[in-house]
Amino acid sequence: MKVHNLRWRDIMHHAKLNWVRLPIDTIENCRELGGYLTETGHPTKWHSFLRSSEMNKITNDDIDFLKEYGVKTVIDLRRKEEIEKSKNPLSEMNDFDYHNISFHAGNVGDITRYAATKENFTMGDFYVDLLKQHHIVKELFHTIYFAKEGAIVFHCRVGKDRTGVLAMLLLGLAGVSKKDIVSNYEVSFTNLESLHPAVDKFDHLPSDYFLSRRENILQAYHYVIDKYGTFENY
């Protein structure tokens, strides 16, 4: 009991801090959208939005950390078949409001499915296709708007592509600069160390599918700005 109390006090202390990448070893790419300078001169709010890779290996201690960090809502962007293979444990806990909103382009939520059918199809093209799914984007923001007070964590499988597009929209709406939006996206591949061997292993797929190159998120960014003028108009 004494050891447990010490561990719990440590969790309580660390969960009150602001983290760029959360200290959760079982999730490779779980990080904050807080702390970015906006056009108003104020930073985006900490403990409000977290972007993440899948959470199927999360431990009870990690779950306790997320609770203390303030997480109340989980938005899972994966397809049903992905969830069947790798369920998010938070989906079955009363402490969290769990929503599965499959963020896909047409019938395709996985970019690798394009490899055999669409030559030279880039991640940037995939992101633009996602942005064209207005009914899904509307459902996402409806869910965010009506979420209970507390932090929202949203994730797909690796937390790079579908998650990256939603993160871009949130940061863009908050008035974060293009430079910081791109920077937020680019760090994904650095965090995803388990994905690094795949770049050479799956030589039948373009390396672009695994990396987080700036030109891909810039293609999505410019689609919004060039077509709609602002993120608000989009």
H or E stretch covering 152 = strand 151-155
Asked if residue 58 lies in contact with residue 74, where contact means CB atoms within 8 angstroms, the answer is: no
Asked if residue 160 lies in contact with residue 54, where contact means CB atoms within 8 angstroms, the answer is: no
Q: Does the annotation count 30 as an active-site position?
A: no
Residue 132 neighbours by CB distance under 10 Å: 13
The letter for the amino acid at 188 is: S
Tokens of 202: 């799956």
Choose the catalytic residue: 50, 77, 156, 224: 156
Hey, which bits of 15-144 come out as E strands?
A: 31-32, 49-52, 71-76, 97-100
- Residue among 222, 204, 227, 195 nearest 114 (CA): 204
Helices 162-173 and 178-191: angle between axes, nearest 10 degrees: 150
Asked if residue 103 lies in contact with residue 165, where contact means CB atoms within 8 angstroms, the answer is: yes
Q: Which residues are catalytic?
A: 156
